[in-house]
Amino acid sequence: MNKTILVIAAHSDDEALGCSGVIARHVAEGDKVHLLFMTDGVSSRSGSGDGEKRSTSAQGASKILKVSSFTNLNFPDNQMDSIPLLGIVKEVENKISELQPGIIYTHHIGDLNVDHQITHKAVVTACRPQPSFCVEEIYAFEVLSSTEWNTPGVEVFSPNVFIDITYYIDIKKQVLEVYSEEMRQPPHSRSIDNALRLNALRGSSIGVDYAEAFVAIRVIL
């Protein structure tokens, strides 16, 4: 039976780093994947043309991944903590009600970036388990230059779900290249080379060439 998947990311490019291989795999297996971005990812910057470039990149990535839809809620970039959580939760609830996803992928609560943290809280709040609720699985992904950069003492990303993306790693690389303006050169962690190295490392944990890793937030069987 085909599934409906919702990826909820703070910024376009987070989905590319965190789970674009899994997105490609879901689509190849006949599932419908929808993307929900919380901010434009650039409004906190000074460049006037950055928003249009980022939007074009998101459209290009979505086309490569063959997702069914993508939506941007346009909350203020890097300032989601200035918005009442309830307002964010309601927007997430509306999208869940519209799409009826069975699986959600989103950010890890321990990320350094405040938008990632708020997105995680909004998703978990919107997905309070109630009778006949559609969402049965919630997974948190890792985003280089945020997940590994937080201060000691916060919740560490300790993956317990690994998904083989060996056959989809070339698609992931194409998606990362679309977001080239957001990527950096090695040894910066948010480089294409290091993103693929991370997937190779995660793959070695389960005996495959490439994998993406997740923390299972909730799985209802």
As a whole number of angstroms, the distance between CA 104 and CA 123 comes to 9
Domains of the chain: 4-219 (3.40.50.10320)
- Helix (H) / strand (E) containing 6: strand 4-9
Q: Answer positive or negative: Cα dihedral of 44, 49, 50, 54.
A: positive
* Residue pLDDT, tens place only, 87-128: 999 999 999 999 999 999 999 999 999 999 999 999 999 999
The tokens describing 68, both together, are: 């069914």
As a whole number of angstroms, the distance between CA 10 and CA 104 comes to 14
For residue 1, what pLDDT band results from cuts at 50, 70 and 90? confident
102, amino acid identity? G
3-class secondary structure, 103: strand
